[in-house]
Amino acid sequence: MKHVKVIIKKPFWNIDKSKDCRLCQTPCKSACKTSVTIGNQVCEVKKPIKRWIW
């Protein structure tokens, strides 16, 4: 009997940790304007976006 389901595995480790490109959007400039939503962003090196708001 299985007791645990791993839904997301080590997502913070999926990028080269030595890089510090900060290419992705300034968080407050996205769809919030009054909070910081880095967790809702994507890495634009790994996943370029069409139009750049998400």
Partner 1 sequence: MSSFDKGAVHIFTFCGERFAVDINTGSFLCVDEPSYKFIELLLNGDSPEIAEERIKEIYGDESSGVAREIESLIESGVIFSKSIPYFQSTLMLKSLCLNVSHMCNFSCSYCFAKKGSYGGREGIMSVEVAQKSIEYLVKHSSEAPQLEVDFFGGEPLLAYPLIQETIGYAKKKYPEIKWRFTLTTNASILDKEKEDFLYDNDVSIVLSLDGGRAVNDTFRVTGNGKGTFDIVVPHIRYVAEHRKQSEGYYVRGTYTHRTLSISDSVKALRELGCKFISLEPVVTDNEDISIKESDLEDLREEYEKLAKFYVESGGGREWKFFHFNIDTEAGPCIQKRVNGCGAGVEYLAISPCGDIYPCHQFDGISSMKLGDIFSGIVEDKVQQRFKDANYLFNKSKCATCWARFYCSGGCLANNYRINDDLMEPYGIGCKIQKMRIEAALYVQYRLNGGGI
Identify residues 1-54 at the interface with partner 1 (CB under 8 A). 1-17, 19-20, 22-43, 46-47, 49-54
Binding-site size for partner 1 (CB under 8 A) equals 49
Q: How far apart are CA 54 and CA 52, in angstroms?
A: 6
Rounded distance between C-alpha atoms, residue 27 and residue 19, angstroms: 18
Under DSSP, the state recorded for 28 is G
CB of 48 to partner 1, least distance (A): 10
Residues that bind partner 1 (CB under 8 A): 1-17, 19-20, 22-43, 46-47, 49-54
